[in-house]
Amino acid sequence: MTRNVCEETSAADSRPVRQWRRDVVELAALLRTWWASRHGHAPPEDNDAGAGAGIDTGTGASVLWRMRTTVKDEPGSLAALCIALAERRIDILSLQTHPLARGTVDEFLLRAPGDLAAAEISGSVSRAGGSGTWIERADAHDLVDAPTRVLGLATRTALDAAELPLALRQLLGRCTIRSLPGGDSAAREGVPVEGALEETDTVMRLRAPEGGVITVERPYLPFTPTEFARARALVELDARLGPRVPHGRDVLTLPRGNAITVRRADASDLNAAKAMHERCSPRTLSLRYHGPMGDADRYLGHLLSPRYGRTLAVQTASGRVVGLGHLLWDGDETEIALLVEDEWQRRGVGGELLRRLVSMAREANCEHVYAVTQASNTGMVAAMRALGLPLDYQIEEGTLVITARLDATPVASPKTYDHSARD
C-alpha cells in the first residue's frame, strides 16, 4: 500500500496561522527570559546550582545532537519542549518544523553538556509532551542551516548527474538508495509521476529521470512530507538538466614515459568501452567480472550510467580508451572496480585509477569502499595495499572481497605522477 504525496507542504497547511503565531510569541518570550537568565549582570550565586548554569560541563566540553520529536498541534506545546531543554542547560542551535496531518514533527540541532546522555535528553522531551523521539550525535556539518544545505546539494546535482544519489543520502541522513532501470516495468507500476510514500513513511519511491525508479528506505526514522518534497525537487532538477558529466581531465606521464589522459566517462563512451573489452584477453575479463563475460551490452550501459556511480576513463594520446575505473553506489555501500587493457597493465594505470576513485569516495563522505575480485588477482591486491589504508580481506570459494576504511590516514604518501597538463 502506498499513498501519494503531491501537495507542497508548509506550516500553514496543517497548523492554523493564529495558533502558529501564538507558539512563536511564546517561544520568543521564553528565549528572551532564558537568555536574560544566562547573560544577566547579577553576580554569580555561591551554590553549586548557580555555578553549573552555563552550557559547559566542568571540563568545558559540550556535545552536538540532532533530535526529532512529534508534538501535539496545540498552543504551548513547542514552548513546553523548549523549557524542558533549557532546564537541562541545552542550547537550541536550530529548529525546523515538519507539519503533519496530526501534530508537528520538530527537528532540533542541540548543544548539550558533555555529561548529559541521549536517554536523559529524550526522557526530558517525553515528559514535556514529545513522542516518537529520535536522537543521534551530530557534527559541525550539521551547523549549516537547512536552506543553505539544500541549495548546496542542488548545485552539486546540477554540475554532475552522478551526485543525485549522494545528494539524496546527505539530504535524508542514513538511508539506503537503490535505482532500478527504466526497462523494469514492474518497478514503475504503482509509482505516480509525483512519486509516492508507503503508509509506514519509511520508504519513498520516485520516478527516475531516465524512466526507472529510485527507492529510498530509512526504517529507523519515518520520512516527513517536507523531506519527500525536497527529495522530489532534487530529482525533478536532475530530470530537467538531462545527462551531464564534468569535463575536467588530467594528462599524466607514467613511469615508462607514456602520456595518458584521465577523465570522467559516461554513456557516450559506450562504443569505446566495448572496443576496449574486445581487445582484453579472456583472463583479464575473467578477473574483472569473476567468470565468463558474456554480452558486454548487458552491463556496460549500467556501469557507465552516472545514476549508479562514477566512472573514470584512461585514454592514450590517440584517444583510445585503455582503462576504466568504476565507483558504484551499492545501496548504502560503495564498490570499486577496475579494468585495464592487457597491453597497459603493470604501468601504474590501475593504481592511478584506484587512488582517484578512493579520493572521489572520500569527497562523497563514504566511510569505506570494497573491491570484489579473485584470490589470484595479485595486481588488484597490490594496488589496494599501496593505498596505505586499513584493509579487511574476506575469501570464500576463491572470491576475494577487500574492504578499505577511508577514515584512516594513509601510512605512506601514495605514489604520484607528473601532471603535464590540466584543463
Assess whether the region 62-142 and the region 249-405 belong to the same CATH fold. Answer: no
pLDDT at 338: 93
Alpha carbon 156 to its chain centroid, in Å, reads 12
Helix axes 270-279, 297-304, angle to 10 degrees: 130
Burial class of residue 357, CB neighbours in 10 A (0-12, 13-18, 19+): buried
Residues 233-246: tens digit of each pLDDT: 998 888 888 877 77
Residues 101-141: tens digit of each pLDDT: 778 889 999 999 999 999 999 999 999 999 889 998 888 77
pTM of the model: 0.57
CB contact at 8 A, 370 and 376: no
Residue 348 confidence (pLDDT) above 90: no
What average pLDDT does range 9-37 have in this prediction? 42
Residue 221 confidence (pLDDT) above 80: yes
Compute the distance between CA of residue 136 and CA of residue 335 in angstroms, rounded to an integer: 27
C-alpha cell at 198: 508507503
Compute the distance between CA of residue 131 and CA of residue 236 in angstroms, rounded to an integer: 33
* Upper half-sphere CA count for residue 220 (Cβ side, 13 Å): 9
Residue 39 confidence (pLDDT) above 60: no
In 166-211 the beta strands, taken as DSSP E runs, fall at 176-180, 196-198, 203-207
Q: What is the 3-state secondary structure (H, E, C) of 213-226?
A: EEEEECCCCCCCHH
CATH class of 62-142: alpha beta
Compute the distance between CA of residue 195 and CA of residue 165 in angstroms, rounded to an integer: 16
The correct CATH number of 249-405 out of 3.40.630.30, 3.40.50.300, 3.30.420.10, 1.10.760.10 is 3.40.630.30
Residues 264-287: tens digit of each pLDDT: 998 889 999 999 999 999 888 888
Domain residue ranges in the chain: 62-142, 146-241, 249-405
Instruction: Return the SS3 of 149.
Output: helix
CA distances from 405 to 385, 400, 420 (A): 12, 16, 31
Average pLDDT, the chain: 77
CB contact at 8 A, 67 and 128: no
Residues 75-99: tens digit of each pLDDT: 888 899 999 999 999 999 988 888 8
Range among 29-33, 56-60, 205-209, 280-284 rated most confident: 280-284
CA distances from 402 to 372, 374, 405 (A): 7, 10, 10
